[in-house]
Amino acid sequence: MAEDFLPIHGYDHLEFYVGNARQAAHFYDKTFGFKPIAKAGLETGCRDRAGYLMEQGNIRFIFTSAYGPDHEIARHCAMHGDGVKSIGLNVPNVERALAETKKRGATVVQQATEVKDAHGTFVTGTIKYAGDLVFRFVDRKNYRGTFPCFQPISAHGSQPVGLAAIDHVVTNVYLGEMNYWATWFERVMGFSNLMNFTDKDISTEYSALMSKVMENGGGKCKFPINEPAEGKKKSQIEEYLEYYGGPGVQHIAMNSGNIYDTVTKLRQRDIDFLRVPDSYYDYMRERVGDVGEDWRKLQELGILLDKDDDGYLLQIFTQPVQDRPTLFFEVIERHGSRGFGLGNFKALFVSIEKEQALRGNL
């Protein structure tokens, strides 16, 4: 077996560029249960931006906004709205990660950079991905703090909702770009193609999409890539690309050890979810059979279930979490299945199209 030239320990963090970091942090605290851990800004010596670090389980989100209009972050928000700018990957050696990916065709946008402070040495380096997205390699093994320029804050924070880890991060790209980026992942990052979904798998009467799931050698990181397929009307991917202004992160899937409890708490905090018809549950119960789950409770909460040869999974999708119909979240609980809910795609697509129609975008 060939050596993994880009070993990845896992997701380090996701950084969002947002219009107002303080308000975004408040929203993700009060709704999704992320705890404010640290802050960067004028008072910490960061003169051009403010940032809030939020944590829940093994998930780290950073929400960053600019202090002025003539700034990369402000321009990013003007173009895309609030969205993910950077996907942080924890690696054992940033210099080697950059060297190995660069010689395979990566565009390096930030060379290996060491920051030393009272907490130790923090190393990062960045390569370009689709659209304005970047991958940030992070080596924090000699660092005892959170991030440079961030100082701990003693905010009480809301109770967590049981989100434990990032399961996968989905990117939308333009028609004809999916295969390019799948090949890029294989060549540049050493990933392999875990699954393929065609327009026959994911379609309705009106629209369709295609998807390839890329996975790193250790199986820690998975990146599905979606592109629109030809259809009678505008697909959800085309709607995203129009309102986001190009490729970007469509949704972030987060694991829960008890999806019933997590979804109940999220609903109590006014998080809106996509809803499939009640007939879905009669159909799926007949198709899947008894797997030990409470079908009445699944239907009550709107949680979906799918089964494959390895086991089954439970999943649910939020509505977009900002005014633009772009970024949303998935909560997923796996019981052996390594899949992504293929059996649910049709029902989900119909639900998404209903929401598109309400927005006048179908």
CA end-to-end distance (rounded Å), the chain: 47
Percentage of the chain beyond pLDDT 90 is 77
Instruction: Go through the chain and tell me how many residues it has.
Output: 362
Distance CA 287, CA 285 (A): 6
H-state helical runs in the chain: 21-30, 72-80, 94-102, 178-184, 236-244, 259-268, 279-288, 295-301, 345-359
Distance CA 34, CA 18 (A): 16
In this structure, what is the dihedral angle of CA atoms 224, 327, 174, 9, given to the nearest 10 degrees?
-30
At 198 the pLDDT is: 73
Q: Calculate ∠ Cα 349-194-239, nearest 5°.
A: 30
Q: What is the pLDDT of residues 270-301, one digit of tens each?
A: 999 998 888 888 888 888 888 999 999 999 99
Nearest C-alpha neighbor of 84 from the set 161, 172, 8, 167: 172
* pLDDT at position 213 over 70: yes
pTM: 0.94
Distance CA 87, CA 249 (A): 10
Distance CA 20, CA 28 (A): 13
Nearest C-alpha neighbor of 273 from the set 185, 184, 348, 216: 348
Q: What is the pLDDT of residues 231-256, one digit of tens each?
A: 767 788 999 999 999 999 999 999 99
At 235 the pLDDT is: 81
Q: What is the pLDDT of residues 112-169, one digit of tens each?
A: 999 999 999 999 999 999 999 999 999 999 999 999 999 999 878 899 999 999 999 9
At 147 the pLDDT is: 97
Tell the burial category of 268 from Cβ atoms under 10 Å away from its Cβ (0-12, 13-18, 19+). exposed
Mean pLDDT of 220-241: 88
Q: Token pair for residue 182?
A: 């799948």
Helix or strand run (H / E) with residue 323 = none
Confidence of residue 62 (pLDDT cuts 50, 70, 90): very high
CB-based contacts of 222, cutoff 8 Å, min separation 6: 167, 168, 169, 194, 213, 214, 215, 216
8-state DSSP, 318: B
What is the secondary structure of 137-201 as a DSSP string?
A: EEE-TTB-SSSTT-EE-----PPP--EEEEEEEEEE--TT-HHHHHHHIIIII--EEEEEE-TTT
Distance CA 280, CA 39 (A): 44
Hey, what domains does the chain have and what are their CATH numbers? 10-152 (3.10.180.10), 163-359 (3.10.180.10)
Q: Helix, strand or coil for residue 278? A: coil
At 232 the pLDDT is: 66
Confidence of residue 63 (pLDDT cuts 50, 70, 90): very high
Distance CA 337, CA 288 (A): 13
